[in-house]
Amino acid sequence: MPGGFDEGQVRLSALAIAALAAGFFALQAVAVVGLARGRVWARVPATLACVAWALTCLGAPLALLGLNALWRGQDQDR
């Protein structure tokens, strides 16, 4: 594979990401159905979904951008 990536590792990573996305979708579906029916227990999966959205949609990308900015060019300094 071009770029020196291990094809097996890329497939494993893609499978893990797909499994996490499917689990997140199921969590959201449970929260939506429960909240639509006025169930008190639905607040827990809704809260978990909100926390996951906050971490994955805003927190993690910003952290990765910051790390990329910090470490960019480090190989050139040697």
Cα–Cα separations (whole angstroms), residue 32 to 20, 24, 53: 18, 12, 15
pLDDT at 30: 93
Rg (CA), the chain: 18
* Domain of residue 42, residue span: 2-77
Whole-model pTM: value is 0.60
pLDDT at 73: 65
Amino acid letter, residue 25: F
Say if CB 49 and CB 24 are below 8 A apart: yes
30: nearest Cα among 22, 5, 19: 22
pLDDT at 15: 92
pLDDT in tens, 16-73: 989 988 998 999 899 999 999 989 898 899 888 888 877 777 777 777 777 777 777 6
The pair phi, psi for residue 70, each rounded to 5°, is -65, -40
Question: For the chain, how many structural domains are there in total?
Answer: 1
* 67: its two tokens: 């790390």
